[in-house]
Structure 1
Amino acid sequence: MSALTLSNVTKTFGTTEVITGVDLDVEPGEFCVFVGPSGCGKSTLLRMIAGLEDVTSGDVKIDDRRVNDVAPAKREIAMVFQSYALYPHLTVRDNMGLALKQAGTSRADITAATDKASAMLGLDPLIDRRPSELSGGQRQRVAIGRAIVRRPKLFLFDEPLSNLDAALRVATRIEIARLHRELGATMIYVTHDQVEAMTLADKIVVLRAGRVEQVGPPMELYNDPANTFVAGFIGSPQMNFLKSGPLGLSSAQMGIRPEHLEISTEAGQIAGKISHVEKLGGETLVYVLTEDHGLLTVRLFGEHDYQVDAPVWLTPDAARAFHFDEHGQRLRPGESSAAGRATP
């Protein structure tokens, strides 16, 4: 039995279809991330699961129960939003326990639930403070605690880290991953940040313009992308795309990850000159401007010294190259361009 099933789900606003025929199964205990660029429909899809948006057609099932016409409060879900949505006059404890209080839960059970959530999230020293006395990261932990105490069948996260600075994003991301392991809960998480998707997900759903482009584990999408969109979206820095095949595949577009481009000052297959160098300590990113393929990125591990405007040569690792047909669909060994066009 799947924890969540979407069957040919669509959503239209007027004459505009924003979600198109989405099919998806999320297994119990799975951490599933919806990822894609702004406007791809990921938050709309999450809101349809929550019941905050109506489903135009298709079915949404939670634990095999069709919930299309079930009110959000009765779907046994808890949602954590980008905005913390905490009551400013309530303490941390009261914010976390409010939903239980409104449901008529006993004081003893509310205290037990909030104490457990507070301990899991490291909120014990803050339990009697109000939101105005908390940092952004602390407020987000309270919002997550409020979801935990409800013991929902599904946790829904809508870009919960967007308001945090870089360091807090990493720390909170680690906390969410730890909570998932400890709770064993089913979580659906929306983000535009592919790094969040890669580091948190058991399963990633890549969306573009309301359609699912590919579904799979993070490293499967990284190592076996179905098309140029997935190949370019998953991975940081993003994949390089070469306009023609320097390895003899002239009829197709070639993709190569930055770490699979060799750089040399002496010889190689693609001539260029260095446009910019980013020294990040543990790695160095070298941006090379080429005549035929535009700007290409080379990822080198460790510290390297390259000078801007210096001439260099690049050579792709043929064994790590990806090939795509004229429609952007993946061509695998033995497939022709025509076969690629037939790829779903």
Structure 2
Amino acid sequence: MGSLQLKSVRKSFGNVDVIKGIDLDVKDGEFVIFVGPSGCGKSTLLRIIAGLEDATSGSITIDGAEVVTVPPAKRGIAMVFQSYALYPHLTVKDNMGLGLKQAGAPKEEIEKRVSKASAMLSLEKYLARRPAELSGGQRQRVAIGRAIVREPKLFLFDEPLSNLDAALRVNTRLEIARLHRELKATMIYVTHDQVEAMTLADKIVVLDAGVIQQVGSPMELYNRPANLFVAGFIGSPGMNFIDAERLGVTDAKTVGVRPEHLTLSRESGEWQGKVVHVEHLGADTIVYIESEKVGSFTVRLFGEHHYEVGDTVYATPAAGQTHRFDANGRAIR
């Protein structure tokens, strides 16, 4: 079991409030991802759950047991950091089993768990190597393996892929997703990369300035953002925001439409504008447009499209794919 409950969790550094009253329920076996901009408090919140930072106030329970005063080693958690934090003089095998050895586990049990974890992570042929003889991706797999052998109630990941190149990030992301399915473990994962969040999470927690802005499945956040912040943070390129008055919309302050929910034509459409920049990405074409009616906006088209800077174009929002927000930035349902 690995359920987690946070109630009114706060963290202050002097007069600065970093975490401002977090309430959150994580079910056993869920993959929950904290996302948000730099400085939003996501890593601090993860460290509070781990016990590496003390909460200023509030309650933290793991499997129904209060752990606020429990030291990290006794919380039943294992953490994978951005840095691999491997001992350079130890082999892969010894790095993975060190925590169990320090806890006094029998040698046979350590051998069994390390063997199982190394098989899951395809590390069997590297067990005799030292960290310097491994690639960055292999080192991160060793760090993940070290967490697996502890068989924790909670796995905590703090931006574990940020030191890897793009190809390795994709491969390791797939491995983490597979591990979650195989282990059926509760995982809490911090990232600033929304692609990781959208592809890995059962549930995403969007944070800004120490406050939860919205909690939901990836597609709930994409399709029904609670406010302007979530609408702008989830999705790439970001949602277009237009002053509602420009569109003659009287029951909202702001209208939002995602770049992929706009069609583009050279002949006719709702918003006339001129192309100011084009990004050809192969699978997608991103077109940046200036319009007298709605201002600047972006269109994302599937596949390769041949637009040039200066072209006159017409954009039209897809039916039922616009979002409305009130003067306080809250979504109007």
- With normalisation by structure 2, the TM-score equals 0.97
Q: 2:300, 2:54 → 1: CA distance? A: 45
% identical aligned pairs? 67
Q: Which amino acid aligns with 2:278?
A: V
CA distance in 2 between counterparts of 1:244 and 1:3 reads 43
Tell me, in whole angstroms, the C-alpha distance in 2 between the residues paired with 1:292 and 1:150. 59
- Aligned-partner residue type, residue 264 of structure 1: S
Q: Is 1:247–1:318's contact at 8 Å kept on the other side of the alignment?
A: no
**Aligned pair 1:22/2:22, yes or no?**
yes
Look up the match of 2:175. Answer: 175
State how far apart, in whole Å, the 1-side matches of 2:322 and 2:91 are: 55
Cα distance in 1, alignment partners of residues 166 and 136 from structure 2: 12
Contact kept? 1:203, 1:218, Cα under 8 Å: yes
Cα displacement string for residues 72-125 of structure 1 (whole angstroms, at most 9, x for unaligned residues): 000010000000000000000000000000011111111110010000001011
Q: How far did residue 301 of structure 1 move? A: 1.1
Q: Are the equivalent residues in 1 in contact too, given 2:2–2:153 (CA < 8 A)? A: no
The residue correspondences of 1:180-195 to structure 2 (distance < 5 A) are: 180-195=180-195
Give yes or no for contact 1:245–1:254 (8 Å, CA) kept in 2. no
Q: Distance in 1 between matches of 2:79 and 2:291?
A: 47
Provide the C-alpha distance between the structure 2 equivalents of 1:219 and 1:10, rounded to a whole number of angstroms: 29
Name the structure 1 match of 2:202. Answer: 202
| Matched letter for residue 304 of structure 1 | H
Aligned-CA RMSD value: 1.2
Q: Deviations over 1:139-162 (max 9, x none)?
A: 000000000000000000000001
Alignment correspondent of 1:288: 289
On the 8 A contact 2:270/2:316 being kept in 1, the answer is: yes
Paired residue type of 2:180: H
Per the alignment, residue 335 of structure 1 pairs with none
Aligned partner of 1:212 in structure 2 is 212
Give 1:259 deviation, angstroms. 1.2
Task: State the Cα deviation string for residues 25-69 of structure 1 (Å, max 9, x = none).
Answer: 000000000000000000000000000010111101010110000
Letter paired with 1:277: V
User: Which residue in 1 is equivalent to 2:276?
Assistant: 275
**Equivalent in the alignment of 1:33:** 33
User: How far, CA to CA, are the matches of 2:295 and 2:64 in structure 1?
Assistant: 50
Q: Aligned to 2:285, what secondary structure does the other structure show? A: strand
For the pair 1:47 / 2:36, whether they are aligned, the reply is no
Segments of 5+ residues of structure 1 without an aligned counterpart are 333-344
Letter of the structure 1 residue corresponding to residue 271 of structure 2: I
**1:189, CA displacement in angstroms?**
0.2
The match for 2:232 is 232
Distance 2:231 2:176 in 1: 26
Could you tell me how far 1:246 is from its partner in structure 2? 5.3
Give the aligned partner of residue 298 of structure 1: 299
CA deviation after TM superposition for structure 1 residue 204, in Å: 0.4
Q: Distance in 1 between the 2:296 and 2:138 partners? A: 41
Partner of 2:318: 317
Alignment of 1:55-134 (within 5 A): 55-134=55-134
Q: Provide the rounded CA distance (Å) in 1 between the counterparts of 2:273 and 2:198.
A: 32
2: distance between equivalents of 1:91 and 1:43? 29
How many pairs does the alignment contain? 332
Q: In the superposition, relative to structure 1, how do residues 200 and 234 fare at CA in structure 2: closer, same or farther (>3 Å)?
A: same
Structure 2 residue matching 1:330: 3-state secondary structure:
coil
- TM-superposition CA deviations, 1:190-212 (whole Å, max 9, x none): 00111111000000000000000
Which amino acid is the alignment partner of residue 291 of structure 1?
Answer: E
SS in 2 for 1:281: coil
1:318 and 1:146 mapped to 2: Cα distance? 50
